[in-house]
Amino acid sequence: MTRTFLHSFDPPASSPVAGATVDLDVADIEDAGIREVLQTPGAAYGAWSILDTLLTPTGVGTPFIFKQPLGHAREVKVALSGLFGRFVARAYLERYFGLSIFAHLGNNVIDLDRRKQARIKRLARGDLPDWIACKSDLTSLTIAEAKGCHDSGGPAKALARAWTQAGRIDVTVKGRRVTVKRIAVATRWGVANSNPADAYLSVRDPVDEGDPIDQQDKDAPFIGLLRLHVANMIEPLGHAELAQALRTLTRQTFPRPLRDAAARARAVLDNAPIGQVEKAHEIDGLVGGIVTRAGPITDAVASTIDQEALARLNLRPVFIGVDRDLIRAAIDGEAVTIRGRLAERVSPDEFARPDRAGGWIIPLGTERRIIGGT
């Protein structure tokens, strides 16, 4: 079900949509939300699965308006506003900018490829932006920050704070600044029968031109970003050893330790349980796990009967998985192979939803079940 926001974009000529509003599908926001809570340490599991029930039941194409304020205490409002703001911003970036590979920054400076000296460089004190991201073809390196607010005057102040945060890092390769797109996204929530009444989504998006980068080094930040994206996705799904092996690849300085780390990562991947989607021949070999409203199931095996029971109890079970062959390509670090794998087209499926980064979200129940790997 699509919902709309009043939309502003700076610079206006670069806006991805024409007109004064932008629409997002609530299901896409929820999918972005589940990816976000998996990849963000400490995020609230289950928050992704309640969004639709919080909105006014006004139908397709109507404004994105909450039935009631997001809590009464300021602390609750701030926490939920920030969380849902990331969900909406990620869905917006995925749909309108084609971004699909995301790594979270937290407050740590990150090595993307220590051997090629590809890293995140802090420029100022304060919280770092939410994400560094790119497209599935390993282009459009993007630094993005999301804010959610209830400001009665609109999202301008939140957007300014987000823009400041987006400017606190550079991506460098051998000391040279890489060209990046910096994006700040601020969402001002609307509430039925209350103030503020309108939902706004405001964006600021200039390109920050960098220095010339040697051709042999251009792919290093993107490969490191993919490794971190996959590691953060699969770790809470019960694949901590494989996640750590992927992160270790970004921290190797010399060729021999890098080869050893890659060999170990391949061995861990070969031993990882693989989930197969029942009655779906186009989706094959996923590394992942089952997630419900209560969080991932990592300490038990959920049989097909269990999966149906979870669905009947409205616990919204889904299988989240990443293509095993893509993980292998990320370990090998071959950009051509990665691009080829991500460019492969998949046949439309009534249930399973791909994310253009080798990942799948598959709702479970009587119509679709996972066998193995859970």
Task: Report the distance separating Cα 113 and Cα 225, nearest Å.
Answer: 9
- According to the model, what pLDDT value does residue 48 have? 63
Total Cβ atoms within 10 A of residue 124: 10
Whether the predicted pLDDT of 71 surpasses 70: yes
Task: Give, for 309, the enclosing helix (H) or strand (E).
Answer: helix 304-312
Share of the chain above pLDDT 70, in %: 94
Structure tokens given for 97: 């900018």
Taking a C-beta distance cutoff of 8 angstroms, is the pair 265, 248 a contact?
yes
Distances (CA, A) of 297 to 35, 170, 264, 288: 15, 37, 26, 10
Please answer whether residues 252 and 58 qualify as being in contact, where contact means their C-beta atoms are separated by less than 8 angstroms: no
Asked if the model's pLDDT at residue 162 lies above 70, the reply is yes
Residue 44: what pLDDT? 53
Range 201-229 average pLDDT: 94
pLDDT beyond 80 at 374 = no
Q: What is the pLDDT of residue 114?
A: 96
pLDDT of residue 42 exceeding 70 = no
Q: Record the pTM.
A: 0.94
Residue 32 has pLDDT above 60, yes or no: yes
Average pLDDT in the chain: 91
Per-residue model confidence (pLDDT) at position 45: 62
Q: Which residues contact residue 102 at a Cβ distance below 8 angstroms, ignoring those fewer than 6 apart?
A: 35, 39, 90, 131, 132, 133, 229
As a whole number, mean pLDDT of residues 114-143 equals 95
Model confidence over 253-302: pLDDT tens digits? 999 999 999 999 999 999 999 988 876 666 778 999 999 988 898 877 88
Q: Is the distance from CB of 269 to CB of 323 less than 8 angstroms?
A: no
Tell me the per-residue pLDDT of 231-258, one tens digit each, with 9 for 90 and over.
999 999 999 999 999 999 999 999 999 9
Model confidence at 373: pLDDT above 60: no
